[in-house]
Amino acid sequence: MPIDRDKALNADPGVREIGWTTRDVLLYHLSLGAGAAAATDPELHLTYEKGLTVLPTFALVAGTGISAGQAPAPGVEMPGIDVDLRAVLHAGQGLTVHRPLPAAGTATLRSRVAEVWDKGKAALVVLESAATGPDGEPLWTTTTGIWVRGEGGFGGEPGPEERWRAPDRAADAVLTTATTPQQALWYRLNGDLNPLHADPAFARSAGFEQPVLHGLASYGLLAKALVDGVLDGDVTRLTGLTVRFAGPLVPGESITTSVWRDAAPADEGTERLLLHAACPDRDGAPVLTHATATVRS
């Protein structure tokens, strides 16, 4: 069986050392459109090394950027997980930041399979990675949902039901972010060199009319829109972001994010935002759904 659930869940975590520089952070921010209006607002807190602050979602590419040398090969390499990459979809992404990220640094990254859910025709593999700094203190934790077609039906639990629901009222904020035709070419320099995001012929062979933007690029665009449009430009106020990937975004299209402030109780000093991101260029086709952000008040 390509997925051995017991072996995957009981395996020792994979451990590796990662590092990043200010150049990696600057490139990440530029790949999300920072400084696009440089004549009027260069966004120096994101585009200039003096006083540089770090978008929390940089954690998803830390250790894979230009300073890392050879980019890691795409794949899901975990004990008990042996699947055909053509059957794999990035289903969802979660991030919790435990303290503001430094503009340059090193970390120890421990990764494991947290769960394998049986979805009938597919399996949902949940990967968890936790980064700690040189002082041993936690930096961030990520959860990545991997949808593997054809690997369900093994008699496992389907997993908890998601209870996300948009409030029955107008959004408290609507944020529109434009992308550029070369956006995916910029973003892939963060480490994901999949030709799906650059080569038109490869994209057509995968069922797309043209190259599409990375899912994590859409994720980063949403985070930057929140910081700019709701959090007064303060990257440290965004402490968590969870999304489900619902559809592709083509470079050059826009993404519109609806934001609702959740009335449900949150931890002291924080609040929860409910989010839905869609593409207005394609009649509101969903891009990121079932999304929540945790922010400092």
Active centre residues (catalytic): 192, 197
Rounded to the nearest 10 degrees, how much is the dihedral formed by the CA atoms of 130, 133, 139, 140? -20
Beta bridge partners of 273: 261, 293
Q: How many helices (H) and strands (E) does the chain have?
A: 6, 10
228: nearest Cα among 55, 12, 11, 95:
55
- Between the CA of residue 98 and those of 71, 137, 138, 141, 164, what are the distances in Å? 26, 9, 6, 8, 24
Name the phi and psi angles at 15, rounded to 5: -125, 130
